[in-house]
Structure 1
Amino acid sequence: MRLLPLAAVVASTLAISAHAAEADKSTAATEVRTIHCAHLIDTDAGKLLGESTIVIEGARIKEVRPGKADVAGAKQAIDLPTSTCLPGLIDSHVHLTMEFSPTTYSDKFRLNAADFAIRSTVYAKRTLDAGFTTVRNLADNNGDSMSLRNAVNAGIVPGPRIFTAGTAIGSTGGHADFTDGFRKDLAGDPGPKDGIINSPEDAWKAVRQHYKDGADAIKIMPSGGVLDESTSVDNAQMTIEEIKAVVTAAHDYGFTVAAHAHGAEGIRRAILGGVDSIEHGTYMDDADMKLMKEHGTWLVPTIIAGKYAAEQAEKPGVFPPQVAAKARLVGPIIQATAGKAYKAGVKIAFGTDAAVYPHGRNAKEFVYMVEAGMPPMFVIQAATTHAAQLLKKEKELGSIAPGKFADVIAVEGNPLDDVALLQKVGFVMKAGTVYAKTP
C-alpha cells in the first residue's frame, strides 16, 4: 500500500528530523509541523473524529484542531487526505533480540551475543514499520535488549521506544532457566545474577541486579511454558513467597512486574503475589479472573503466539517432540480464554509475544482479539491507552493529545470497520520523526 501524499513529504521530513533523540536534542526541536488526517481515532474518548489537524512541536503534540486547519508558523504540512490517524501502537510483550526458527535450539551454541544484537536491529525496524512505536521487551538472555534500547534512544538505529525487562526471573529448571535441555557439563547452576532464584533472598538479589544492569521492568516465570525443553506448560514454578519478594523488591525500585503464566495455579500465585500483569493466561479459570478484577491485574493475552506455535507444531522438525505437544495444547485454548476474560471485565492490554512468530506481523493480534469477542475500538485502546497505563506512561503515550509524544500512524480506510487494516500501516511517526515503509 502506498499513501500518495506520503511520498512527497517523507524525504524532507526525514531530512529535518531523522535520528532525532526523544530528549528534543535535534535542531528541529521547536519546529512546528502539522498532519492533516481524513479521520482521527480519539483513544481517550473512544471515538472516531472527522477531518482533523495534529499540530506538532518538536517531538511532542502541541494541539489537535478540527478540520484542515492552517497553523501560523508551521514549517511543514503532511497531508493524509484519505487516511485514518491514530496513536502509535504499543506492544506490551515482545522479544526483539531473537526470532524463533527450526535452528533456535542449536543457535545458542553457534551464535554469539553480537549475532543476536545485530539481528535485533532488523527486528526493531520491522516492528516500527508495522506501526508499533513503543514496546515492552519481556526477556532476553544477554542483556542485549538494553543495548538495543540505548541505541534506539541515541538515534543510532531506528526502532520503537523500548522498555525492557532484561533477563526473566524464575526457578532452577523452570521456564526462565536458559540451560534447560543442556547436557550436564554445560548446564551449570545459574543463580540470581542470571535471573534464577530459589528463595525470597535470591529474589531480592535478582531484582537488585536488574536495577544495576539498567532494566526498565521485571519479568517472572511462575508457571511452565511452551518453548522451553521441559514437559509441562502449566505447572507452578515459583512459590507465593518468592513472587511476593520479587514484587516487593521491584516496586521498591519503581519496576512493574509482568508474570508469564499459563497454568491456573501459577496465575493465582502471581496475582496474590502482587504482579502488575499476567502474560498469556491460557488456563485461567473463573476464580483467577475474579482475583484479577479484585487486584486490578492486567491480562496480556498474546493470542497470536499460541495460535502460531500450534500451527508450527504440525510441521515436522520445527519443535522437539515435547515442545510440539505443549504447543498443540495451548493453541486451541488461548483465544477462547482471552474472550472469556474480556467478558468477565478483566483489564486487557495488547501484547503478542513477538519472536514466537516473525517480527512485524504484530497487528494480526487485533484480528484474533476481535474474533474472541472484543470490539474494534476496545482492541485499539488495548494497544494505546490501556498499554500506556500498564507501562505507567499514560501521561506521555497512548493517545493523540497535547503534551504527549508525537507518535502517530495512519492507515487507508477505517480500522473500526475492518481491524485487519491495521496490518497495512502506511505512515509512521515516532516522537516527531517520520519513517516510510516500502510501497
Structure 2
Amino acid sequence: MNKILITADRVITKSADQVINDGAVLVDGGLIAAVGTAAELETSVDASVTRLRCPGATAMPGLIDCHVHLAFDASADPVRAVTHADPAELVAAMADRAGRMLAAGVTTVRDLGDRDALTVKLRSSIDSGAAIGPRILAATAPLTSRGGHCGFLGGEVATDDDIRTQIARNAADGADLIKVMASGGALTPTGPRMWQSQFSPEQLRLIVEESARLGLEVAAHAHGTDTIANCVTAGVRTIEHCSWRTTEGISYDPEIARRIAEKDIAVCRCVSGDWRMFLEQLGAERAKALSETIIGMRKDGVRFIAGTDAGVPGAQFGDYVGMLEFFANLGFSHSEIIDMATTSSAHALGLADTGSLAPGMRADIIIIDGNPLTGLDSLRRIQHVFVAGMQVPRVASERGRQRTDAYEAHP
C-alpha cells in the first residue's frame, strides 16, 4: 500500500471535541503516519505522494459496532435462516452483510454469536485480503443453558465441566472473546424469560475466570436486574442490552449502575435503526421507563458503547446511524455520541490501535460529506472508507441496495 495524504475541512482526531480545522491525515501502509493541519502536511509531505482532497468533508475514525450477528439475516425468522443454511452459502451471505457495514462506515464489528465458528472463517478471509470487510472480533458460539437463549448456535452447557469445555472449544476455534447468554432472550421464546437468569452467580464467575485464563474477556447478554447484578459481581467486560427487567416490569438500580461505572464495565444497549417502531410497540409507559433507565445510567457514570444487534428481526446491516440517532433523541450530545461510536467502543473492546486518528494508529478512517458534530445524518453520506490503510471501493446505497464503483484518488 502506498502513501496517501487526505485533506478535509475537519479532522476529528481522538475525542470528538478534538478537531483540526482544515486538517490532514497521512496514511502510510496500514498505519497513520501523521495528523495535522493541511498547511503543515502539504508542505512536509513529498509532492509525489497521492493527495485525496475532500472539501466540505470530515475525516474521522472509522465507526465501531460492538454487537452484530453476521450469521442472521434480519428477517422475521433469522433462526431458521441460520440453522437451515448451507455453511458455504451462509459464509457468502455473511461476507455480503459485512461489506454493507463497511460501506456504512463501520470499520470494526464485534460478532456476538454465530454457528460453526463461521465468523472466524470470514475474519480469516478478510485478514488475508481474499475478501474486503471490516475488522471482525468473533465470539463464536455463545454459552447458554440447555434449551436456553440461542442454543441453536451450539453453545449449550449445564455443568461446570461443560462450561470449561465450551470455552476451550471456542478459544481453539479462534474466538476473540466469550459471549454468555446470562439471561433469556426474545429470539428463544421456549427458553427462560428475558428477566430470568440462565446461570448461577458461581457459574458466571467460573465463565469469567476460565475465559481470563485463556486471555479472553466476556460479553454478557443480560436483561434481568438480578442477572445484571450477578454479571457485575462476576467481572464481565461488557453488558449487552442491560434493560433492567423483572417480572413486574423495569426496575433500575442506581447502586448496581454505579458499580458498573466503578468497574469500567461498558454497556451496549443494542439499538437498531427501527427504534421508533420498537418504542411505539412498547407503549408510552414502557417506552418512558426504558428511556429513563438509559438516562439514569448516564447520570450514574455508565460508559455506553455503540451496537445495533444487526441481524435480529428488523435490525438491518446498513443502518448504523439510526442507532446513534436514538441516543440523540434522549439528549446525548453529538460529540458524546461520536465518542461512543469510536473511542469508547475501542476502549471497551480492548483495541488500543483504533478508535482515534494519531500517528502509529491503524488507519481505519472514514470521510463523510458534512459535519457530524452538527448533524448526525452526515454520517450517512460516506465519501471514502479506509480499513487498515486500504482504500475501499466506493459503495453507494440506493433504497437499501448496494452497488460498487471503483475509483481512484487524484493527486
- TM-score under structure 1 normalisation? 0.82
Q: Partner of 1:227 in structure 2? A: 187
Instruction: Report deviation, 1:32.
Output: 2.2
1:149 alignment counterpart: 123
Distance 1:236 1:197, change over 3 A: same
1:119 to 79, 93, 110: 93
- Shift in CA distance, 401/351, structure 1 to aligned 2, threshold 3 Å: same
- Alignment match of 1:65 (pick from 29, 36, 42): 36
- Report what 1:272 is aligned to: 233
Q: Distance in 2 between matches of 1:76 and 1:307?
A: 42
Task: Give, in whole Å, the separation in 1 of the partners of 2:376 and 2:193.
Answer: 35
Given the alignment, which residue of 335, 339, 362 partners 1:405? Answer: 362
Aligned to 1:21: none
User: Counterpart amino acid of 1:246?
Assistant: I
CA–CA distance in 2 between the matches of 1:366 and 1:423? Answer: 11
Which of 235, 239, 248 is equivalent to 2:200?
239
Contact 1:306–1:330 (Cα < 8 Å) also in 2: no
Letter of the structure 1 residue corresponding to residue 318 of structure 2: G
Matched position secondary structure for 1:393: coil
| Equivalent pair of 1:366/1:420 in contact (CA under 8 Å) | no
Match in the other structure for 1:9: none
Sort the Cα spacing of 1:354 and 1:334 in 2 relative to 1 into closer, same or farther, 3 A: farther
* Cross-structure match for 2:351: 393
Residue 26 of structure 2: aligned partner: 55
Q: Is contact 1:98-1:119 (8 Å) kept?
A: no
Task: Find the counterpart in structure 2 of residue 251 from structure 1.
Answer: 212
Please give the alpha-carbon distance, in whole angstroms, between the structure 2 residues aligned to 1:351 and 1:103.
21
Over 3 Å counting, the alpha-carbon distance change for 1:62 and 1:109 in structure 2 is closer
Q: 2 CA distance for matches of 1:176 and 1:328?
A: 30
Contact kept? 2:143, 2:157, Cα under 8 Å: yes
Q: What is the aligned residue count?
A: 383
Residues 1:104 and 2:64 aligned together:
no
1:103 positional shift: 4.0
Q: Does 1:421 align with 2:392?
A: no
Letter in 2 for 1:290: R
Amino acid corresponding to residue 40 of structure 1 in structure 2: V
Q: Is the 8 Å Cα contact of residues 339 and 374 (structure 1) preserved in structure 2?
A: no
Task: Name the Cα RMSD after superposition.
Answer: 2.3
AA at the equivalent of 1:60 = L
What amino acid sits opposite 1:352 in the alignment?
A: T
The unaligned stretches of length 5 or more in structure 1 are 1-27, 180-193, 315-324
1:166 deviation in Å?
Answer: 0.4
Partner of residue 437, structure 1:
395
Q: Residue deviations 1:105-146, cap 9 Å, x none?
A: 443564222222111111010000000001111111221111
Q: How far apart are the structure 1 equivalents of 2:200 and 2:28?
A: 49
Q: Distance in 2 between matches of 1:331 and 1:178?
A: 30
Q: State the match for 1:39 in structure 2.
A: 10
Structure 2 counterpart of 1:79, from 53, 67, 70: 53
Which digits, 9 at most, give the CA deviation of each residue in 1:394-418, with x for residues without a partner? 2x10101000111111211111111
Which residue number in structure 1 is paired with residue 264 of structure 2? Answer: 296
Deviation, structure 1 residue 210: 1.0
- 2:335 is aligned, of 377, 385, 388, to 377
Say whether residues 1:176 and 2:133 are aligned partners.
no
Equivalent residue letter for 1:376: H
Cα deviation, residue 46, structure 1: 2.8
Q: Deviations over 1:148-177 (max 9, x none)?
A: 111111111111000100010111122131
Give the C-alpha shift of residue 147 in structure 1: 0.7
**Does the aligned pair in 2 maintain the 1:91–1:383 contact within 8 Å?**
yes
Work out whether 1:260 is the aligned partner of 2:221: yes
Alpha-carbon shift at residue 301 of structure 1 (Å) = 1.1
- Structure 1 residue 329: Cα displacement: 10
The answer on whether the counterparts of 1:222 and 1:266 sit within 8 Å (CA) in structure 2 is: yes
- What is the letter of the counterpart of residue 151 of structure 1? S
Quote how far apart the aligned CAs of 1:306 are: 8.0
1:85: how far off?
1.0
Q: Is the 8 A contact 1:92 1:351 kept in 2?
A: yes
- Structure 2 unaligned regions, length at least 5: 245-251, 398-411
Shift of 1:334: 4.3
User: Which one of the candidate residues 51, 61, 65 is aligned to 1:91?
Assistant: 65
SS of residue paired to 1:345: coil
Could you say what secondary structure the match of 2:156 adopts? coil
Tell me, in whole angstroms, the C-alpha distance in 2 between the residues paired with 1:96 and 1:328: 32
Question: Alpha carbons of 1:391 and 1:105: their partners in 2 closer, same or farther (altered >3 Å)?
Answer: closer
Q: Distance in 2 between matches of 1:344 and 1:373?
A: 15
What secondary structure is seen at the aligned counterpart in 1 of 2:27? strand
